[in-house]
């Protein structure tokens, strides 16, 4: 899901792209997954000049924000998020 200033339409030319990537299955391997996403984001930045901040979230965390380290982030994603793929 796209969230943050680009989802709200308040971004400027220097704004990054905030993406929440909702993953199925049991939560785990957060640092490995985040590292893999960062590698892809770096390639995107080199090719486009746009910084992408990807946040891995598992379905259980998204549905039960109190199980995530930053429930406020999930609240912001739910409030501002725009689906970009799948059923969101």
* pLDDT value of residue 87: 60
Convert the pLDDT of each residue in 33-43 to its tens digit: 999 999 999 99
State mean pLDDT over 54-71.
Answer: 94
What burial class does residue 74 get, using C-beta atoms within 10 Å of its C-beta: 0-12 exposed, 13-18 middle, 19+ buried? buried
Give the CA dihedral 38, 85, 4, 32, nearest 10 degrees.
Answer: -20
Report domain extents, the chain: 4-80
Q: How far apart are CA 23 and CA 71, in angstroms?
A: 17
Convert the pLDDT of each residue in 12-35 to its tens digit: 989 999 999 999 988 878 899 999
Residue 88 above 60 pLDDT?
Answer: no
């Amino acid at each position: 899901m796209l969230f943050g200033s680009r989802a709200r339409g308040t971004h400027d030319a220097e704004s990054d792209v905030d993406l929440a990537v909702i993953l199925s299955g049991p939560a785990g391997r957060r640092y490995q997954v985040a590292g893999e996403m960062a590698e892809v984001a770096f390639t995107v930045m080199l090719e486009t000049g746009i910084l992408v901040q990807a946040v891995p979230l598992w379905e259980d965390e998204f549905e039960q924000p109190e199980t995530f380290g930053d429930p406020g982030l999930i609240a912001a994603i739910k409030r501002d998020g725009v689906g970009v793929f799948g059923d969101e």
